[in-house]
Amino acid sequence: DQQVKQNSPSLSVQEGRISILNCDYTNSMFDYFLWYKKYPAEGPTFLISISSIKDKNEDGRFTVFLNKSAKHLSLHIVPSQPGDSAVYFCAASGQGSSNTGKLIFGQGTTLQVKP
Amino acid sequence: GAGVSQSPRYKVAKRGQDVALRCDPISGHVSLFWYQQALGQGPEFLTYFQNEAQLDKSGLPSDRFFAERPEGSVSTLKIQRTQQEDSAVYLCASSRGLFSGANVLTFGAGSRLTVL
């Protein structure tokens, strides 16, 4: 069972426009959500996180929104730049008393930002 | 070290061979995780260490997979009698541990295993 889902395998946007990447989850016990960015032949790098008690977290061009009732989060990148072209993974952690800090990842969305 | 270091970066094995993948976590990081990433998929959890103790190995796909971290720093993931379905990128990640806030994992570049 896929606890974290990214239903859009790819997204293409024009430079300067907004990129919106979406993620759905099924486990209401998750307490943190993270976004990672991955370039080819490199490991994923941390981008931004949000606690389940918040509904928004912003860091520069990156904003993450959390809708707990819908079990949905999204990452907004404004304005998008060609260097943002990468695979973006949504991840979740915290599963109650058995929490080890491990992250559960979605399948990833490939973002292409066209100049 | 400054980051998580993994070796080898690329490994080609014949089916049935044993392989060993090494991970050097960030110095002082208590938590260490191994993930498997198949082509076009997200990383899938394999196992977790807190210092030298392997506290969660629920993601290891079979008893051919074995991981250790004997001194609480360097870790080795061993795969015995490799099969074609073991072909993937194996990612190691470390973190300071669970204190407060999100447990941000720092990943290495991965070891790409190809089993022929």
Per-residue confidence band for B78, with pLDDT thresholds at 50, 70 and 90: very high
Q: Residues of chain B with pLDDT > 90: what percent?
A: 90
pLDDT digits (tens, 9 = 90+) for B21-52: 999 999 999 999 999 999 999 999 999 999 99
Pairing of strands A45-51, A32-38: antiparallel
Distance (Å) from the C-alpha of residue A37 to the closest C-alpha of chain B?
A: 11
Spell out the residues 6+ positions from residue A97 whose beta carbon is closer than 8 angstroms to its own.
Answer: none
Q: Report helix, strand and coil shares of chain A as percent, to nearest 5.
A: 5, 50, 45
pLDDT score of B97: 77
pLDDT score of A1: 73
pLDDT digits (tens, 9 = 90+) for A50-84: 999 999 999 999 999 999 999 999 999 999 999 99
pLDDT digits (tens, 9 = 90+) for A25-57: 999 989 899 999 999 999 999 999 999 999 999
Contact residues of B toward A, CB < 8 A: 4, 31, 33, 35, 40-45, 48, 50, 55-56, 91, 93, 95, 97-98, 101-110
**Region B66-93: what's the mean pLDDT?**
97
Torsional sign, CA A25, A103, A33, A35: negative
pLDDT score of B60: 97
pLDDT score of A38: 97
pLDDT score of B1: 55
pLDDT score of A94: 80
Which residue is associated with the tokens 């998750």? A30
Asked if B55 lies within 8 A of A100 by C-beta distance, the reply is yes
Task: Using the predicted structure, report yes or no on whether residue B98 has a pLDDT greater than 80.
Answer: no
Determine the residue of chain A that is closest to B56 in CA distance.
A100
Q: How far is residue B116's CA from residue B114's CA, in Å, rounded to a whole number?
A: 6
